[in-house]
A and B are shown apart, each in its own frame.
Chain A
Amino acid sequence: MDREFITRGVKRCSGGKFLLWILPWVAMLIFGLYSAGLCLVKGLNQTNMDNRFAFGLWIFLDLTVIALGAGAFFTGFLLYILKMKELRAVINSAVVIGVVCYSGAMCALAVDVGQPLRFWFTFWYPNVHSMLTEVTFCITCYLTVLMIEYLPIVLKNRKLRDVPEFLVFEHELHKLIYVLAGVGTFLSFFHQGSLGGLYGVLRGRPFAFREGLAIWPSTFFLFILSAAAVGPSFVLLTTWLVEKISKKRLVRPEAMQMLGRISGLLLAVYVLLKTIDTLVWINRTSPGNGFPAAQYYAWHPFGTWILFTEIALLGMVPALILLTPKLRARTGWLVSAAAMACCGVALNRFVQTVQTLAVPTLSFDKFMTYTPSWQEVGTFLAVLAYGVLVYSFSFRYFQLFPDERELKLEVAQVEEEPALVGRY
């Protein structure tokens, strides 16, 4: 019944099957919205956050999701600014991922603040010295930009396209998309950095505090780099997942490998700089503030293993895999490395947000642990379900992978090859 909305020539599962697919996600979303509603109506006492764990699961989620969503800006940057044409195959998907990640993060943030009705105060009375102000402004602007970038994808829907106004606007907008890609790159650059700076500037939290350049702590740059590194990996991972779930070929292997290569390259640089940064921090920054760095890792369960896992296991290893052409050519290795890179960055964000708060600062403080409440988990799941749903609908009704149709024909051609050869 929704056939007329589905892009011509691509195969999508039946409406019933699609309904079956989205049903659990919708259920999850409803549960999550209920949880979030509780937090909004009854207040944040519904969460297990407290004065010591002022930030919890949600901030970790926001930081991670925004890092993973960096694929949108970075792919756009590579495609529209650096003209890497191969990435045209994934740009739409990357934009949807970006929209999902950023809007999801914004929704989670709206629940996370104690006074959502005052959301506009940050815009009206901004403290320009706060990293959070920068984050808020940039994310809002960038989300707007992403929405505008998403617009052509929506308007290109087969049915909507029949409206001449939509068709023409989509066309004209798409012609200017490079401007938006440029603006998006600028904005992303800053807010990814500011998210890193968010913790890096906390002089009162020597575990997170870093020195840096001018007003920007080193984490500012590390976050940009790690986000740029992991963005393509996440696009790659998502594409692979969608291919597996939909049982279709969507993207040529060259595009996937290109994503992997870019990711690997950046990841390698990131790991190098992160190592240098960690060494400087251990030997200079932290002791300078009166905190011998070794003690941070004496609080179990957070030991040095976490540092090793983050930098070596989930940083260096995937970087090497992605940089080795032979390994990269194998889907299994490629995807595993991409997944590891994503996990590595998620772990980095976890350390930045959760471990920072868990480690005591006053000598009579205790190491704190924190378990999210079901309302927090529910809200987390809502963001996840929302993402899956938006992506599913986008995949069903919009042309996320321009090569899909062609690849379908190619598959057919390969099967038909002998017959054709015999004929002509």
Chain B
Amino acid sequence: MIAANKPNKIARYGMSIDLDRCTGCGACMVACAVENNVPPAHEGATARKGITWIRVFKVDNGEEGPARRSVFVPVLCQQCGEDTPCVHVCPQQAVEVDPATGIVGQMPERCLGCRYCMAACPYHARFFNWWDPQWPAGMEKTLNPDVAPRMRGVVEKCNFCHGRWHAAKERAAAAGKSEIEAGAYVPACVESCPTGAIRFGDLKDAASEPAVAAKDAHSFRLLEKLGTEPKIYYHSKRDWVRQVAAAPKPPNGKENARG
């Protein structure tokens, strides 16, 4: 969707998430909401109507009793690099892959709210504003000025904290540089993760943590076979955990009411 670019440095921002470190504390989810002005849940919101750009799922190995083991899997927009499913379905160019960063951007101001992109996303990483955003009286004072609140009726999703990218760009410009230095820009979830399970960097920079993680034998991406080349790498030394990347298993008849 974008025309020519200056020979700016082309980045491919990506993430690595170490599932062996994630405690499921939810700090990333909360930090994300704070950073991106996502309102608290409307009273009618449920886990299926909520807005959680990053959402931590509790996944178990399907065993019963003491054999049951769980892992926490943070899922955010996987920033697909090829055949990005949501981009070419949007009827009005409200979704695009920024060629300079590889970030899949969603423009709430352009969005019609048709939700076709949500149907297209295999990761369910897109969220619809079912309600107008509402903060308790006074709490709007704590909104982040770098991110515009979205209105009801549009889709939104993780954009690697684009406000922070803007800020980093501006800081670089103030220093007279046109490029962001490695580490000068990290999304809020990365910064907030108390265990450092989430790492962020430029996949083109071989020294960056995600790039290193991408080459690790214990790394995997979700639904890799779809061929969408997601840029979020998960990592776990546990074999069964790596199975979460695969397609769902048919139900065993018992449903957990949670998670």
A375 interface residue, CB < 8 Å from B? no
Establish whether residues A122 and B49, one from each chain, have CB atoms under 8 Å apart when the complex forms.
Answer: no
B222 interface residue, CB < 8 Å from A? yes
Establish whether residues B91 and A50, one from each chain, have CB atoms under 8 Å apart when the complex forms.
Answer: no
Establish whether residues B131 and A43, one from each chain, have CB atoms under 8 Å apart when the complex forms.
Answer: yes
Q: Mark B106-139, 1 if CB is under 8 A from A, else 0.
A: 0000111111101111111011111110000000
Interface of A is mostly: loop
Find residues 288-326 in chain A having any chain B CB closer than 8 Å to their own CB.
288-292, 294-295, 298-300
A3 interface residue, CB < 8 Å from B? no
Q: Chain B residue with minimal CB distance to A109?
A: B114
Find residues 365-382 in chain A having any chain B CB closer than 8 Å to their own CB.
365-368
Q: Mark A46-60, 1 if CB is under 8 A from B, else 0.
A: 000111111100000
Establish whether residues B91 and A122, one from each chain, have CB atoms under 8 Å apart when the complex forms.
Answer: yes
Find residues 79-105 in chain B having any chain A CB closer than 8 Å to their own CB.
83, 85, 88-94
Establish whether residues A54 and B119, one from each chain, have CB atoms under 8 Å apart when the complex forms.
Answer: yes
B172 interface residue, CB < 8 Å from A? no
Q: What chain B residues lie within 8 Å of A257 (beta carbons)?
A: none
Establish whether residues B48 and A43, one from each chain, have CB atoms under 8 Å apart when the complex forms.
Answer: no
Whole-angstrom distance from the CB of B152 to the nearest CB of chain A? 5
Known pairs A44-B153, A203-B85, A289-B225; A54 contacts B91 (CB<8 A)? no
Establish whether residues A205 and B122, one from each chain, have CB atoms under 8 Å apart when the complex forms.
Answer: yes
Q: What chain A residues lie within 8 Å of B110 (beta carbons)?
A: 118, 121, 125
In the bound complex, how far is the Cα of B186 from the Cα of A65, in angstroms? Answer: 48
Establish whether residues A363 and B246, one from each chain, have CB atoms under 8 Å apart when the complex forms.
Answer: yes
Establish whether residues A291 and B247, one from each chain, have CB atoms under 8 Å apart when the complex forms.
Answer: yes
Q: Chain B residue with minimal CB distance to A288?
A: B225
In the bound complex, how far is the Cα of B154 from the Cα of A365, in angstroms? Answer: 24
Establish whether residues A363 and B248, one from each chain, have CB atoms under 8 Å apart when the complex forms.
Answer: yes
Establish whether residues A51 and B49, one from each chain, have CB atoms under 8 Å apart when the complex forms.
Answer: yes
In the bound complex, how far is the Cα of B42 from the Cα of A190, in angstroms? Answer: 41
B189 interface residue, CB < 8 Å from A? no
In the bound complex, how far is the Cα of B119 from the Cα of A202, in angstroms? Answer: 8
Q: What chain A residues lie within 8 Å of B1 (beta carbons)?
A: 127
Establish whether residues A201 and B89, one from each chain, have CB atoms under 8 Å apart when the complex forms.
Answer: yes
Establish whether residues B88 and A129, one from each chain, have CB atoms under 8 Å apart when the complex forms.
Answer: yes
Q: Which of A49, A204, A289 has the most chain B CB atoms closer than 10 A to its own CB?
A: A204
Establish whether residues A356 and B92, one from each chain, have CB atoms under 8 Å apart when the complex forms.
Answer: no
A278 interface residue, CB < 8 Å from B? no
Q: Chain B residue with minimal CB distance to A133?
A: B91
In the bound complex, how far is the Cα of B124 from the Cα of A51, in angstroms? Answer: 7
Q: Mark B242-259, 1 if CB is under 8 A from A, else 0.
A: 011111111100010001
B73 interface residue, CB < 8 Å from A? yes
Establish whether residues A202 and B247, one from each chain, have CB atoms under 8 Å apart when the complex forms.
Answer: no
The one of B75, B94, B127, B250 that contacts A51, using a Cβ cutoff of 8 Å: B127
Q: What bracket does the count of chain B residues touching chain A fall in? A: 35 or more
Q: What chain B residues lie within 8 Å of A364 (beta carbons)?
A: 57, 59, 73, 244, 248, 259
A361 interface residue, CB < 8 Å from B? yes
Establish whether residues A205 and B119, one from each chain, have CB atoms under 8 Å apart when the complex forms.
Answer: yes
A112 interface residue, CB < 8 Å from B? yes
Establish whether residues A362 and B92, one from each chain, have CB atoms under 8 Å apart when the complex forms.
Answer: no
Q: What chain A residues lie within 8 Å of B226 (beta carbons)?
A: 203-204, 206, 289-290
In the bound complex, how far is the Cα of B250 from the Cα of A334, in angstroms? Answer: 41
In the bound complex, how far is the Cα of B90 from the Cα of A289, in angstroms? Answer: 22
Q: What chain A residues lie within 8 Å of B90 (beta carbons)?
A: 127, 130, 132
A393 interface residue, CB < 8 Å from B? no
A131 interface residue, CB < 8 Å from B? yes
Establish whether residues A136 and B59, one from each chain, have CB atoms under 8 Å apart when the complex forms.
Answer: no
A360 interface residue, CB < 8 Å from B? yes
A37 interface residue, CB < 8 Å from B? no
Known pairs A121-B112, A206-B226; A114 contacts B154 (CB<8 A)? yes
A21 interface residue, CB < 8 Å from B? no
Establish whether residues B89 and A290, one from each chain, have CB atoms under 8 Å apart when the complex forms.
Answer: no
The one of A49, A55, A118, A360 that contacts B112, using a Cβ cutoff of 8 Å: A118
In the bound complex, how far is the Cα of B150 from the Cα of A114, in angstroms? Answer: 12
Establish whether residues A299 and B89, one from each chain, have CB atoms under 8 Å apart when the complex forms.
Answer: no
A126 interface residue, CB < 8 Å from B? yes
B228 interface residue, CB < 8 Å from A? yes
Establish whether residues B85 and A202, one from each chain, have CB atoms under 8 Å apart when the complex forms.
Answer: yes
Whole-angstrom distance from the CB of A44 to the nearest CB of chain B? 6
Establish whether residues B223 and A361, one from each chain, have CB atoms under 8 Å apart when the complex forms.
Answer: yes
In the bound complex, how far is the Cα of B224 from the Cα of A127, in angstroms? Answer: 26
Establish whether residues A130 and B91, one from each chain, have CB atoms under 8 Å apart when the complex forms.
Answer: yes
A5 interface residue, CB < 8 Å from B? no
Establish whether residues A298 and B250, one from each chain, have CB atoms under 8 Å apart when the complex forms.
Answer: yes
Q: What chain A residues lie within 8 Å of B122 (beta carbons)?
A: 203-205, 361-362
In the bound complex, how far is the Cα of B127 from the Cα of A360, in angstroms? Answer: 17
Q: What chain A residues lie within 8 Å of B120 (beta carbons)?
A: 202-205
Q: What chain A residues lie within 8 Å of B93 (beta carbons)?
A: 125-127
Residues of A within 8 A of B (CB): 43-45, 49-55, 112-115, 118-119, 121-122, 124-127, 129-133, 136, 198-199, 201-206, 288-292, 294-295, 298-300, 356-357, 360-368
Name 26 A/B residue pairs within 8 A (Cβ), A-sorted. Answer: A43-B132, A44-B153, A45-B42, A45-B49, A45-B130, A50-B46, A54-B128, A55-B119, A113-B153, A121-B110, A122-B112, A125-B110, A127-B90, A130-B90, A202-B89, A204-B85, A204-B223, A205-B122, A288-B225, A289-B225, A291-B247, A299-B251, A361-B123, A361-B124, A362-B244, A363-B248
